Amino acid sequence: MKKNFLIALWFTLVTTVMFGILYPLAITGLAQVLFPSKANGQLIERNGKLVGSRIIGQLFTGPGYFHSRPSAAGTGYDATSSSGSNLGPTNKALLDRVKADVEKAKAEDSTAPVPIDLVTASGSGLDPQISPAAAEFQIPRVARERKIGEADLRALVHKFTEGRQFGIFGEPRVNLLELNLELDRTHPLPQ
């Protein structure tokens, strides 16, 4: 009995060290060597200042910026509170919020139908991308505010549109942080 207990104790200790300490350190070190940007959160810096992450959404509200999806994560895009709202499709609070968001989007003088991703939150509440249709919907407002041609803005949106992964997985998407940063760099808001 004592021998079995010691074997079990040693086995627990050895596997804890191997798989709880050595393995995570090895994988973390390997990731730092092979994929340093991805291992560190795909952070974006401008002029030596951290401005965000390529994989975590941010709230853009100004009329001269492309707006993100609504976020149910904490107070909005809070990575420590990542989650959806858990409100069902017949929940009155959700229906009222979506209706208000649709009306707000329609007030942007667009005659196009409002894309669903501009009025509904994602499951994580942290999506950094919107659909190309959602970006297209916002082009007239952003072009008007930045005083640039819609065709030029459409070309910039196309530049930041990512296709399906490996040509088959997911949907085409536009990374908003990168697009809005490029807008600030190439077409700053008029003073």
Residue type, 144: R
Tell me: pLDDT of 24 over 90: yes
What is the distance between the alpha carbons of residues 153 and 36, in angstroms, rounded to a whole number?
Answer: 32
Residue type, 63: P
Residue 25: predicted pLDDT: 94
The β-bridge relationship of strands 173-175 and 43-46 is: unpaired
Model confidence pLDDT, tens digit, residues 157-180: 999 998 888 988 988 999 988 999
Model confidence pLDDT, tens digit, residues 30-85: 988 998 878 877 787 788 887 777 777 787 788 888 988 887 766 666 666 666 66
Which pair of tokens denotes residue 71? 């976020």
- Coil, helix or strand for 66? coil
Residues 6+ apart with CB under 8 A from 70: 76, 97, 101, 119, 120, 121
pTM of this structure: 0.73
